Structure 1
Amino acid sequence: MKIAVIGLGVLGAAAARSLAAAGAEVTVFERTAPLAGTSGTSFAWTNSHSKNPRSYHDLNVTGMAEHAELAKESGANWLVRTGNLEWAEDAAGAERLAASVAELTGRDYPVDWITPRRAGELVPDLRVPSGVQDIAFYPTEGHVFPALLVARLWGEARERGAELRCPATVTGLSEVDGRARVELADGTADFDAVVLATGRWTETLTAAAGHRIPMADPDAAGSATVGLLGYTNPLPTRLNRILTTPKLNVRPDGGGRLIVQGLDLDAHADPAGPPAADGDHARDLCSRLTGLLAGTSGARLESLRVGQRAMPADGLTVAGFLDGSGKIYALATHSGITLGPLLGKLAAQELLTGHPADSLADFRPQRLIGKSDLPTLQPARFAGQQ
């Protein structure tokens, strides 16, 4: 079976790997470069926080488990599963956190309340504010190095015969004589099926195919789809876990560097005007970091980027065929890092066997196709998650 995959971020690489492993003849089309879209600017936190309805929570939990299974096969230099620490600093925040922990506990999601002393044992350089007594610890959460994950997924796809055409601009999709046609700037190519994994460009290509999936505007300044990510210089601080705190989210990024994120600052994120790496926002982030971790005095940002999230218009994942012909399969999700390997596996299953995955029943594109009266998504407490 000849299958085209459009886009080489985490979702596209995962789909290519699973399809090629199952014996499909795979061609990947990438417009500019691997990781050029959302996958390259992500906090890359694997979790299932505040992910509702329950089916969405369960899907993300399964996505976390799929990462663990993939790691068993030949190691995982791309996956760190050392947990996440979270606390609140005011009464309203403490109430929200307690409610979230209670919900997760009711879902058998691993979470424990720990003391500041125990938190200091887990993160020796951590500076917990004096008024904080209860800290939530999520031991199975972690983060991914997206470039290493894509290298793993695409490398295994390539070893099984998958081919990459890059740069290749896909201008449209259609069905001709029972096959899926990929329309390119320099011609056309026909396949038995196509997997669309183009992230925030999903709406444009599905519209060209006659089945528009509305996406939240990825260019809307200050919206739920944009956020600031700061990348520090190497720092002599001891941190090997994720911290999600009221003032700063932070995780290791290898080589002593950290990724930092202040969710309240996302209101100032504008893809058309990224802030300077040495400007006010950068200084604010570095000041927050110094207050959170010892060993970060003199921290500076090597870059401050505006991440643009791929978010279907109702905030939930899209996975499935655009229509009943089974020729064009769409993948789009805000949780691409957490769900990537799982969605690639399930897409390959549905394409090659025709057997639907029950876990995707609530996430079919038909709930959105052609809709125009969807509510505007608001920035969320966990907007940086993937």
Structure 2
Amino acid sequence: MHIAVIGAGAVGLAIARELVREGARVTVLERRHPGAGTSATSFAWINAHLKRPASYQALNRAGLLAHHALHNDLTEGPRWFVPTGNLEWAADPAHATALTAAAAAVEEQGGTVERLTADQARALEPGVRIPAGVESAVLFADEGYVLPGEFLGRLLTDAIAGGAELRAPAEVRAIDAGADGARITLADGTELAADAVVTAVGRWTEPLLADAGVHVPMADPDAAGGATVGYLAYTAPAPVRLNRVLTTSTLNVRPDGNGRLVLQGLDLDPAADPGAAQQPGPGSPVARTLRDRLAETVVGGEYAEIEQVRVGQRALPADGLTVCGFTDDRRTLYTVATHSGITLAPALAPMVAAEVLGGSPAGLLADFRPTRFTPGRRPGTRLAQARLPGEQ
């Protein structure tokens, strides 16, 4: 069976890797280069505890466990997943209430939660500066972070070693899917025939599928201050001791290898504008704010230098939930679109591969089918920025 996978981000490459492992012939089409889309601007925190509703939290927990399984199966090569947990504390009452609820929800689903005193948290991460008045913290021990480049490299090399063909750059202009297979037209006029097509193109999902007569509405990825955009700041090697994801009321930070850090301040994201003629640089106000927050949060942060600020554009279905499934009963065109791509990729891959190759539907995907959308209508869901500390 010949499967065309459109999109070579984390989700597309994970699916391609799984399909070749199941014996399919696979062609991956990517309009620029692997990882050029959303995967290149992800905080890459592997977590489930902030996800709602319960079915989405369960799906993300499956992703988290799949990362652990892949990590444990490795016998050689670089490790893309760092399963050292997520340490979180709350400096305001609303955040403290939300953190308590999140910890209970994780425990209900079988996750490991450690409730720490402030002194225990400092012993675990000697470099942290926990504010006065904060007496406790929570360690979500099952969580971790991914080094996106190494993760994508592993997926890509495994897929190609298994026989997948990568065509990049190869921009898809049209998909004609019928009961007897699909025909894909590329921007250069060439055509490719396949038994089935899987789209994993992130924020480009809506226009690509619309040309194929399929309605999967996505939140506008270019809307300044909208739910899809946010800042990420990257430091030069810094004298900071940090072993895990750290989330606080003002700053999220994780290691990025070789002493570098990735910083995120969710309350700053409403100012992000991917269409701005001049994007914020290392000396911009947002960079200075994030660096000041880092100095307040970890020892040595005051000596860190911001090398780059990126405006990430999230792939976010219009109702806020993952899309995963066949677009109609012909079982020729399958689509995946999700805000949680790096977390979900290793869990979605075997479920998608099984369904595309004729297996039974995956129970975890029941709430996330693309057929939930009414043609010609957009969901009335109000999508805000990524959930801020203290929000339910």
The TM-score range, normalised by the shorter chain, is over 0.9
The one-letter code sitting in structure 1 at the alignment partner of 2:282 is: A
Match among 321, 327, 341 for residue 316 of structure 1: 321
Name the CA distance, whole Å, in 2 between partners of 1:262 and 1:141.
20
Q: Deviations over 1:277-313 (max 9, x none)?
A: 2111101110110111112222221100001100111
1:271-310 to 2 correspondences below 5 Å: 271-273=274-276, 274-310=279-315
Name the CA distance, whole Å, in 2 between partners of 1:369 and 1:34.
32
Name the CA distance, whole Å, in 2 between partners of 1:356 and 1:336.
20
> What does residue 368 of structure 1 align with?
373
Name the CA distance, whole Å, in 1 between partners of 2:7 and 2:303.
39
> What does residue 101 of structure 1 align with?
103
Q: Deviations over 1:120-157 (max 9, x none)?
A: 11111111001100111101100001111111111111
1:126-205 to 2 correspondences below 5 Å: 126-176=128-178, 178-185=180-187, 186-205=189-208
> What does residue 352 of structure 2 align with?
347
SS at match of 2:302: coil
Q: Deviations over 1:219-273 (max 9, x none)?
A: 1111111110000010111101001101100000001000001111001111012
The one-letter code sitting in structure 2 at the alignment partner of 1:101 is: A
> What does residue 258 of structure 2 align with?
255
User: Residue 113 of structure 1: CA displacement?
Assistant: 1.3
SS at match of 2:334: strand
1:4-15 to 2 correspondences below 5 Å: 4-15=4-15
Q: For the Cα contact (< 8 Å) 1:214–1:369, is it kept in 2?
A: no
Name the CA distance, whole Å, in 2 between partners of 1:176 and 1:139.
46
Q: For the Cα contact (< 8 Å) 1:9–1:39, is it kept in 2?
A: yes
Name the CA distance, whole Å, in 2 between partners of 1:330 and 1:123.
41
Name the CA distance, whole Å, in 2 between partners of 1:226 and 1:270.
7
TM, length-normalised to structure 1? 0.96
1:47-66 to 2 correspondences below 5 Å: 47-66=47-66
Q: For the Cα contact (< 8 Å) 2:33–2:168, is it kept in 1?
A: yes
Structure 2: any 5+ residue segments left out of the alignment? none
User: Residue 382 of structure 1: CA displacement?
Assistant: 5.4
Q: Deviations over 1:329-366 (max 9, x none)?
A: 10110110110011111111111133211111111101
Q: 1:347 to 1:369 in 2, by over 3 A?
A: farther
Name the CA distance, whole Å, in 2 between partners of 1:58 and 1:106.
11
How many residues get paired? 383
Q: Which stretch has the larger CA shift, 261-270 or 177-186?
A: 177-186
Name the CA distance, whole Å, in 2 between partners of 1:112 and 1:126.
17
> What does residue 237 of structure 1 align with?
240
Name the CA distance, whole Å, in 2 between partners of 1:93 and 1:359.
29
> What does residue 3 of structure 2 align with?
3
Q: Which stretch has the larger CA shift, 16-25 or 73-82?
A: 73-82
Q: For the Cα contact (< 8 Å) 1:211–1:369, is it kept in 2?
A: no
Q: For the Cα contact (< 8 Å) 1:50–1:382, is it kept in 2?
A: no
User: Does residue 220 in structure 1 map to residue 223 in structure 2?
Assistant: yes
User: Residue 100 of structure 1: CA displacement?
Assistant: 2.3
1:77-96 to 2 correspondences below 5 Å: 77-96=79-98
The one-letter code sitting in structure 2 at the alignment partner of 1:314 is: D
Name the CA distance, whole Å, in 2 between partners of 1:175 and 1:380.
35
RMSD over equivalenced CA pairs, Å:
1.4
Name the CA distance, whole Å, in 2 between partners of 1:73 and 1:259.
27
Structure 1: any 5+ residue segments left out of the alignment? none
Q: For the Cα contact (< 8 Å) 2:239–2:303, is it kept in 1?
A: no
Q: For the Cα contact (< 8 Å) 1:282–1:300, is it kept in 2?
A: no
Q: For the Cα contact (< 8 Å) 1:237–1:295, is it kept in 2?
A: yes
Name the CA distance, whole Å, in 2 between partners of 1:32 and 1:376.
32
SS at match of 1:353: coil
The one-letter code sitting in structure 2 at the alignment partner of 1:93 is: H
